[in-house]
Amino acid sequence: MKAPKRLQALIEEGLIDSVVRQLMSGKEAQVFVVRQGEDTFCAKIYKEATHRSFRQAVDYTENRKVKNSRQARAMAKGTRFGRQAQEEAWQSAEVDALYRLAAAGVRVPKPLNFYEGVLLMELVADEAGDAAPRLNDVVFSADQARQHHATLLAEVVRMLCAGVVHGDLSEFNILLAADGPVIIDLPQAVDAAGNNHAARMLLRDVDNLRSFFGRFCPALLPTAYGPEIWHLYTKGMLSQDTPLTGRFVPDAHSVDLQAVLREIEDTRLEEQDRRLRMGL
């Protein structure tokens, strides 16, 4: 196919030879299958993410580093330069997270290059060598659901041990490769220790996994892996080899009802935004 303008620059730089086809188009990015010699990769072209609300941008970008104080001031004021800087930081966050997580052994697409707002990375393939499907497009047996749930919990733990929370993990951004699930779409990834919303995002990520796989394996629905994982993390007791039980008994304390209601409303709005991004 004819190369889109944004990919023509990669061809001119010799980073790719040709564009095979478009793989996906969403509100945040377009993804194309590209070739370089005998190898096939993915090219993710970021769009201007005008659909993200200020509230969500603040939650996800809290404590993210920028190049200088001028950028930080502009981002805080919401100027045109600030919005551009914020978008660059949003894109860079996924690139940085991919390199960081790949180095930690997390199952993510291997990043290859980032040039002019285009992320070049590994094509995640199924057993036939075609682009792998999203979990949402696959039906599982109870045993398969239990196995994949356990695999992804281990990946969440591995990510957290590397200091990263995905922030938007669900069946819509996990691919089922020939050798198991692969986590994708990380522009909203946050620093586990540096973001005050990290705990809530981690709990939501794990709850999304529980809810999805619980459709096929109801025995997973009563589990409480999220609170257990975060508790072990905050106590400095979490490692990649830490056995998990799926049970958690919180410390007895008075409940701030208003805070709970705010968390519920935030979660509802974020789910609404996520479904909008996925075109649901």
Alpha-helix runs per DSSP H in the chain: 5-12, 54-61, 69-77, 80-103, 142-161, 198-214, 225-234, 257-277
Structure letter (DSSP) for residue 107: S
Of 59, 185, 205, 207, which residue is the catalytic one?
185
Query: Is the Cβ–Cβ distance between 86 and 57 less than 8 Å?
Result: yes
Structure letter (DSSP) for residue 125: B
Angle between helices 80-103 and 69-77 (to 10 degrees): 120
Q: Tell me how long the chain is.
A: 280
d(CA 251, CA 224): 14
d(CA 155, CA 106): 6
Cα dist from 225 to 68, 96, 101, 147, 237, whole Å: 39, 27, 21, 15, 15
d(CA 78, CA 94): 22
Of 96, 168, 205, 207, which residue is the catalytic one?
168
d(CA 29, CA 221): 33
Tokens 């993210």 found at: 64
User: Is 185 annotated as catalytic?
Assistant: yes
CA quadruple 85, 90, 94, 100: dihedral sign: positive
Structure letter (DSSP) for residue 192: T
Query: Is the Cβ–Cβ distance between 218 and 147 less than 8 Å?
Result: no
d(CA 166, CA 187): 9
d(CA 172, CA 99): 21
Residues annotated as catalytic are: 168, 185
